[in-house]
Amino acid sequence: MREKAHQVYKTKSGIVVPSVTQIVSMLNKPVLVTWANKLGLQGIDVKKYVDIKAEIGTVAHRMILDYFLSQETDFSEYSRDVIDKAENSFLSFLEWTKNKEVEPLCVEKSMVSEVELFGGTFDFYGLVDGEKTLVDFKTGNGIYQEYFYQLAGYSILLEEAGLDVRKGMILNIPRTEDERFLVQSVTSFEREKEIFRHLLAIYWLEREAKG
């Protein structure tokens, strides 16, 4: 899930707390540097390439959420080419839903942990083939370990609210022909929760050190 730009999470007492994506983004991502260097050697403008794909991913992601929210997607800010590619992505998502029972309980829900002091907005929590499942919809060219740290953070928020999470799932929705539809599931978050909590502790220690 791409948390809304400049979204601020606060506890009931008014303490500003970090988001799940802020916490996970503290991890170094050397794979992105290698990828960018590879594009540069091919004479591809990395920024332009990323911006176009990001737009496609944003629209596709919005279409999926709007599908569960039973509302129309606003395409007014996007080009016809971006919309067409996003619609193809959305169709691949619909193909995945076939022969599955998918019942949303919470979609695009923002929560704040009063106990562990962080917030986040997850994509989907509901029943997938009868199991209470937390799903994060990604658009890109792979599934990375930090995605599961994000799921772990969201699962902490849900569990603090008294909601049971039996399974976590990452759906990677392709935006272009060089990307693949990928699904990866986990039934336990214990190790990922531990890593997330360590990152959260580092965040607060750094914030304290900076005053």
In this predicted model, what pLDDT tens digit does every residue of 141-155 receive, in sequence order? Answer: 889 999 999 999 999
- Please state the rounded mean pLDDT for residues 117-125: 97
In a domain, 121, yes or no: yes
In a domain, 13, yes or no: no
Q: What is the pLDDT of residue 178?
A: 81
Q: What is the pLDDT of residue 123?
A: 97
> In this predicted model, what pLDDT tens digit does every residue of 57-116 receive, in sequence order?
999 999 999 999 999 999 999 999 999 999 999 999 999 999 899 999 999 999 999 999
pLDDT band at 19 (very low <50, low <70, confident <90, very high): very high
Q: How many CB atoms lie within 10 A of CB 75?
A: 15
Query: Is the pLDDT confidence value at 125 over 90?
Result: yes
Tokens 């997938």 locate to 128
Buried b (16+ CB within 10 A) or exposed e, 94-118: eeeeeeeeeebebbbbebbbeebbb
pLDDT band at 31 (very low <50, low <70, confident <90, very high): very low
Query: Is the pLDDT confidence value at 127 over 70?
Result: yes
Q: What is the pLDDT of residue 179?
A: 85
In a domain, 51, yes or no: yes
Helix 30-41 / helix 46-69 crossing angle, nearest 10 deg:
120
Share of the chain above pLDDT 70, in %: 86
Distance CA 42, CA 141 (A): 18
Q: What is the pLDDT of residue 5?
A: 53
Range of the domain at 38: 18-209
In a domain, 1, yes or no: no
Instruction: Write the burial class of residue 34 (CB in 10 Å: 0-12 exposed, 13-18 middle, 19+ buried).
Output: exposed
Q: What is the pLDDT of residue 48?
A: 46
Mean pLDDT, the chain, integer? 88
Q: What is the pLDDT of residue 40?
A: 52
In a domain, 68, yes or no: yes
The model's pTM: 0.85
Structural domains counted in the chain = 1
In a domain, 64, yes or no: yes
In a domain, 53, yes or no: yes
The answer to whether residues 141 and 108 touch, using CB atoms and an 8 Å cutoff, is no
Q: How many CB atoms lie within 10 A of CB 58?
A: 17
CATH number, domain of 146, equals: 3.90.320
Query: Is the pLDDT confidence value at 35 over 80?
Result: no
